Copies of this chain bind each other. A is one copy, B any other.
Amino acid sequence: MNQDAVRKSRPDFTWEHTELLRYKVEGSAPFRNVTRQVLFDDIAGGAQWRYFEVAPGGWSTLERHQHTHAVMVLRGRGRCLVGQQVREIAERDLVEIAPMTWHQFRAAEDAPLGFLCLVSCDRDRPQLPDAQQLRALRDDPAIAEFLEGQDR
């Protein structure tokens, strides 16, 4: 582990002494073109501070869980689904995801969507929607349009 108090950032939104990771194991959940970096682990009373980057046209997993997410967009733009809301998001916008709220992040077609995401180190596993839950989400035309073109 790095002993230096400062880790410099690079122009490509990676950081010194910080590993560029896969978002999740391929095939474990639906997603497209997402990377993950853990910026600080077990900090500030047990939090993990991550940076995710969704490449243009990519998207994170549609999921929900008991733990909360605190999110700030750091790079680019895109849209997010949070509960029943589909919202445009861009640099420095804040997103708070409450417990058991369906959520997903999608990058614009022509820009990445990079965001900071804070969670507790001690957290539950995400749940994926089943067919009935997906149908219920798609009953809302705005959500149906948001989800269009994804594998599920």
Contacts and interface: CB of A to CB of B under 8 A. Distances in A.
B89 A6 contact: yes
A92 interface: yes
Contacts of A152: none
Number of copies of this protein chain within its complex = 2
Contact of A93 (B7, B44, B68, B95): B7
A128 interface: no
Contacts of A67: 44-45
A98 B6 CA distance: 12
A147 interface: no
A64 B44 CA distance: 15
A96 B8 CA distance: 12
Given A40-B70, A85-B6, A96-B40, A45 B91 contact: no
A47 B118 contact: yes
Contacts of A69: 44
Given A7-B93, A7-B95, 19 more contacts: A4-B85, A5-B95, A6-B87, A6-B94, A6-B95, A7-B94, A9-B91, A9-B94, A15-B94, A40-B118, A43-B118, A44-B48, A44-B69, A45-B46, A46-B47, A47-B70, A49-B70, A72-B116, A116-B116
Interface of A: 4-9, 13, 15, 18, 39-40, 43-49, 67-70, 72, 74, 80, 82-83, 85, 87, 89-98, 101, 116, 118-123
